[in-house]
A and B are shown apart, each in its own frame.
Chain A
């Protein structure tokens, strides 16, 4: 149970390896760290061999679902007359998820190189980066990096070889969580309301402009150059058979050292907390999400669950985006779930009834429960509504909305009941703020204005 390994052994910075360089985002810095070497190797390969190479590496999607990246590429029909497109999903909006944004801010060229490799593989001449709009500093660096890549010939008329052009368009979204869902993203990129599409046909057959399209997460694509440059064996030396490689874990919440931790897949939360200083002083872990708010929350019973696709799945949750939001004993789980539920209701696109209506009514009931105005029967009712959303909604947003309800009821039903029997919330939200323990821990009077 205890960890004796050092941080040096447990962590494996690859994408983040030079983020502390003074100008880490520039082409010059990227090249100094073997940038665009993977592309050089990839362009010397036949596209089909390249797809097989990425498939054999075992790289799985880092955006949540964990679908094998190479297999996604393989689904693109070859020899058809239609244009093929690569669309990078940089609409990082899942609550708790904060890996792609720092990655693009500090190292945008890893994505651009990955895009060039992927486009060679799937025989695409035009790629898009769909970046959520609310991150202008990242947009700036993407604009700059793409301009540098064009100037250096990594993009443009002969990017993928003589007469083999590659265009890359950076597209800023306009604020809609649902656009992280790949088919809603495609509708949004086509200039429509971001609502998911019926599948089949899958994007690989009829995606952007009804043409074969690969939609990949930022981190998935950005991981490809290193695999090319350093090889499958190196990649497979990390993680497990089914979940090989390195990935970014984002630690946040009531922890001593929130931040990005790049490590082989399969590290545990206990190991991450051990090496980073644990929870904030004097507090204990109460509940956490392994991969954003849509993944069923876990408790301190799950500290030793290997954080890979299989391990977290076996524990009844999902690896998701590896957004490890940690909450300590000062946090009211009902308040947390209410807020997430409000988020899903707000972001429901309105297309399907289970999600649109279900999330609405969940919010009403959760607010009542939190305020102490609910009855015990309401606990069964929220479980019932969540069950009517889960698996029955048009896209995964509905499943995500049901996850916090199910999992919190499973582990903290007693706390829900306390809100009902005690006619209100037994927690003081002022105690869970980051500054609650400042000023000599005299929490009386110090935060009178903190009335939230």
Chain B
């Protein structure tokens, strides 16, 4: 009988070094104590292990399973369902460009496309220096500030192609970057710790960027008679405007990451084994709600002609 490699990870995954494990276990016990049922702590614990390694590894999942008395299969099923858990080493700064309809139409597609060219990476890919991971995200509940870019889940409102390029340049150069709403950026790992339920201890972090953003206040200001009134314009155009000669994308104005291949059939697909990772990474064979159904060709720049959307989570 010949051995047929199935791409399955070696189990069990290696454990954390003792000191790391002890530290994380103390944190985990705090998290678990918040819930009447320990399993409720799973999502925060996955954020916690992500704050240790920058992505959710098989080791991290094993740790969660141990802490909660679950199987690693149960933990893997959850970790692969949610788009905020990264499954491969990624950058310190996760730059997410909203390309849901409203932001896309208002400029998100152009921003995403320009950032891919500017950084030389595709969707879900990381710059060589490990600083920036670029992805497109879904609606982030800031439509009145469109187009929106999120960095480590802090708001960068009302972006343009130029401002977004400056933003990633600053991130790559290591300059301090302040969001329009949120605190001065910390790294992705530090952000993940806040998400695990450990408040940001930096002085001024909660106060940073002040009260509500400007768009949140327009109604209030009008109600106080502080701004002039305008007029609504009449009925919509009978026919669409003609196609302009400049700035017309080749082919498709919308995105295309149509499934043409699956993870199983396309070794280049990021759902497949990730090169350079140790044995025992249980997430090599993934159980992803998205990847089950559609082989999004994340990272394929051809797909992102007009700004892509689809496979990568918010």
Residues of A within 8 A of B68 (CB): 191
Please, which residues of chain A bring their CB within 8 A of the CB of B143? 95-98, 250, 252-253, 258, 323, 325
Interface size on A, residues (CB 8 A): 139
Is B219 touching A263 in the complex (CB atoms < 8 A)?
Answer: yes
Complex contacts, A141 vs chain B, CB 8 Å: 206
- Interface pick from B14-22, B121-129, B167-175, B250-258: B250-258
Closest approach, in angstroms, between the C-beta of B181 and any C-beta of chain A? 5
Contacts of A393 in B (CB 8 A): none
Known A-B contacts A20-B217, A350-B293, A428-B243; the reply to A95 vs B110 at CB < 8 A is no
A189 to B41 CA separation, bound complex (whole angstroms): 8
Report which of A137, A346, A364 forms a contact with B258, defined as CB distance below 8 A: A364
Inter-subunit contact B181/A137 (CB<8 Å) = yes
Among A50-58, A60-68, A271-279, the one that faces the other chain is A271-279
Max chain B Cβ within 10 angstroms of own Cβ: one of A8, A101, A350, A433: A433
Considering only CB atoms, which chain A residue lies closest to B199 in the complex?
A143
Contact A300 B235 (CB under 8 A): yes
Q: B205-237 interface mask toward A, CB cutoff 8 Å, 1 = contact, 0 = none? A: 111011111111111111111011111111111
Instruction: Offer 22 A-B interface pairs, CB within 8 angstroms, sorted by A.
Output: A6-B225, A93-B314, A95-B101, A134-B150, A134-B153, A136-B191, A143-B197, A144-B206, A174-B46, A190-B37, A253-B106, A277-B230, A278-B230, A284-B237, A340-B101, A360-B293, A429-B105, A432-B105, A433-B105, A449-B161, A451-B110, A451-B113
CB contacts (< 8 Å) of A169 on chain B: these are: 34-35
User: Is the pair B144, A95 in contact by a Cβ cutoff of 8 Å?
Assistant: no
Question: A37 an interface residue at 8 Å Cβ cutoff?
Answer: no
Give Cα distance in the complex from A332 to B241, angstroms: 10
Q: How far is the CB of A331 from chain B (nearest CB, A)?
A: 6
Interface-lining segment among A226-234, A235-243, A307-315, A440-448 = A440-448
Chain B proximity of A125: nearest CB distance (Å): 10
**Interface residues, chain A, CB within 8 Å of chain B?**
6-8, 11-13, 16-17, 19-25, 83, 92-98, 100-102, 105-106, 126, 132-137, 139-141, 143-144, 147, 169-177, 188-194, 209, 249-254, 256-263, 270, 273-279, 283-287, 293, 299-300, 303, 323, 325, 327-332, 335-336, 338-340, 342-343, 345-350, 356, 360, 363-364, 367, 370-371, 415, 418, 425-435, 443-445, 447-452
Choose among A102, A347, A429 the residue that contacts B216 (Cβ–Cβ < 8 A). Answer: A102
Q: Does B142 contact A98, Cβ atoms closer than 8 Å? A: yes
Name the B residues within 8 Å of A175 (CB-CB). 82-85, 313-314
Bound CA span A15–B189, Å: 34
A259 to B255 Cα, complex, angstroms? 27
Q: Which of A92, A188, A328, A428 makes the CB contact (< 8 A) with B248?
A: A428
